[in-house]
Structure 1
Amino acid sequence: MLFWKRNTDTIIQCPNCEWKPDGEKHWACSCGHSWNTFETKAKCPQCKKQWQDTVCPGCGKLSPHKSWYKTREEINALESAGDSQLRAKKKSLESRLVGYGIKNYRVSHLPYLDHSNEKFHSPFEAGCRMMILYAISYAVHKLHERADVCDWLQREGLWDRVSPKEKEFFTDPLPEKETLRELSWRIEAALTLGWCLNKVKVLPRLDEASNKINGQAMREFQENVPALGEPLMSFLSNLEYRSLDEIYEENLVNEMATTYFRDLMFSRKDDQTKINRAVSLERHRVLNWLRTHYEDGNFSGELWDDVDTST
């Protein structure tokens, strides 16, 4: 009996994003059979149809099946080509996703990782939004103090940066429970901006953040930002960002997590992560806002309600 021996010098990976097969049955034939296409070199074991192209579970792109098979020399050439810094960012981002259990999402377009042309809000604007979000998360639990919070925001010159929907919350005599529930998560967005502005050293992991919100990160945040009601201008005028590379990667992690959860709704597959979706969505929202800068002087408050998290 003859046995096929796999050539150990051959490496199978997507020609676009470098995703490698994980042994799972990601592919389905037109006859309805599901299997690992690389076990049969793209021939369906049931109906014997030979597929010429293969879709990648990592990036979703279709490529000729034969282009998936590379020699080690070809792999080395690919890895040494292109921008070494962007390739390092790709490796870091994908490693974090795998660490969360998002194993089959890859970056196929390296410029996607380049933030050099992005226009971030200034640290001052980010600090203003952070304090507004902090105030809202407090007012959700202290509805009777909303008038005092409004007075403070007006006194500190932040009221024009409060979004229309946020202003509705401050003036609504009886906010709906769903509104209160949604706004209570704004503390996560405030904490994220605190991290961006070096007021929090480390963001809790997405799969443990809900347990850490009253822990070290939150204590650190409260120690390093003014208490609600205190003067803000000196604090806001001296803020600086941490590395924009770190901020951008955090944004992309949560953007791809949003994509992962959206895809789950259509595929009806089980969630392989323990990510707190509400936490991730708040980070995605606030970091997308951070990258939404207009030169025409639009107040950030007017932009907050329209932040796009659809990916």
Structure 2
Amino acid sequence: MEELKTRTTDYLASVGIEVPSHLPTIEEMDEVTPRSAQDVAGRLSALAYVIGLGFGAKGSDLSEQLQKYDLVPFVSEREKSLFSEEVIDDQDKVDMSWQTECAQALAWCIGLVELDHFQHCDDDLAQKIPFKTDPSDFIRSAKLRPIAEIQEQSDLLYRMHWYSRNCRLTGRDCDLSESIISERRKAIDWVYGVEEDWDEVPMDT
């Protein structure tokens, strides 16, 4: 893990992002329980409906679709509570809309897209995720990228998150969006198996 940390730190320095060497290593493989490709594809399919909340879709309508396609097990407890609310407040809408970046990261984990952390999610991302259609074939056929690649992203996003948060706290200009980085880090760390509960994935830096 020290070698991975060094590689990541050197890469970031090469693109003008300096992070301190004293930052810790991420979790070892024997400390995590990685998700299966089917877990990831199911969560990604459910996330399409969760994101709909952020763009004004009616929770009860979306909830019906989730039940119809057996996606409720892939919805977090916080999200379930939002689907049941008559009116969603503005901050929750913002939070749900930002999960497009979680979706980009999950889609990368099963080989649907590439990741460029200096850019927002792909314009055509939604077209690659089943929505209001049966996702069973999509979930069944999903293949996970090698876990070493996901581990590398976990390490990279942790250090990028530290950098972007530090820029905000110190008032420095930053080439990275802290929101993009934090959402993708959450998704990647969930896939890597840092935390089983989506709502509880740690975001400390």
TM superposition score category, shorter chain reference? 0.7 to 0.9
1:95 to 1, 6, 10: 10
Amino acid at match of 1:103: E
1:304 to 192, 198, 201: 198
TM-fit CA distance, 1:270: 2.0
Q: 1:231 to 1:96 in 2, by over 3 A?
A: same
1:236 paired with 2:101, answer no
Q: 1:105 to 1:143 in 2, by over 3 A?
A: same
**Equivalent in the alignment of 1:185:** 98
TM-fit CA distance, 1:172: 1.4
Residue pairs, 1:3-152, within 5 angstroms = 87=3, 89-106=4-21, 112=25, 115-117=28-30, 118-144=32-58, 146-152=59-65
**Equivalent in the alignment of 1:203:** 115
In structure 2, the residue corresponding to 1:249 is in which secondary structure?
helix
Alignment length (residue pairs): 204
TM-fit CA distance, 1:196: 0.6
Larger strand percent: 1
Structure 2 distance, partners of 1:172, 1:92, is 46
TM-fit CA distance, 1:154: 0.9
**Does the 8 Å CA contact 2:105/2:184 hold for their aligned counterparts?**
yes
In structure 1, the residue corresponding to 2:200 is in which secondary structure?
coil
Structure 1 distance, partners of 2:73, 2:81, is 13
Q: 1:192 to 1:148 in 2, by over 3 A?
A: same
Q: 1:185 to 1:114 in 2, by over 3 A?
A: closer
Structure 2 distance, partners of 1:284, 1:114, is 14
Amino acid at match of 2:140: S
C-alpha offsets along residues 224-274 of structure 1, whole Å, 9 cap, x if unaligned? 332x111111211121111222211111111112223444566x3624x31
Larger helix percent: 2
How big is the alpha-carbon RMSD for the aligned residues of Structure 1 and Structure 2? 2.6
After TM superposition, the score normalised by the length of structure 2 is 0.85
1:153 to 38, 58, 66: 66
Q: Among all aligned residue pairs of Structure 1 and Structure 2, give the percentage whose two residues are the same amino acid.
A: 20
Gaps of 5+ in 2: none
Higher relative contact order (Cα pairs below 8 Å, separated by 6+ residues): 2
1:270 to 172, 175, 179: 172
Structure 2 distance, partners of 1:163, 1:239, is 21
After TM superposition, the score normalised by the length of structure 1 is 0.58
Structure 2 distance, partners of 1:225, 1:174, is 26
**Equivalent in the alignment of 1:249:** 152
Structure 1 distance, partners of 2:9, 2:187, is 21
Q: 1:99 to 1:150 in 2, by over 3 A?
A: farther
Structure 1 distance, partners of 2:89, 2:5, is 42
Structure 1 distance, partners of 2:204, 2:23, is 19
**Equivalent in the alignment of 2:186:** 285
Q: 1:104 to 1:309 in 2, by over 3 A?
A: closer
Q: 1:260 to 1:157 in 2, by over 3 A?
A: same
Larger gyration radius, structure 1 or structure 2? 1
In structure 2, the residue corresponding to 1:143 is in which secondary structure?
coil
Structure 2 distance, partners of 1:169, 1:310, is 25
Gaps of 5+ in 1: 1-82, 295-299
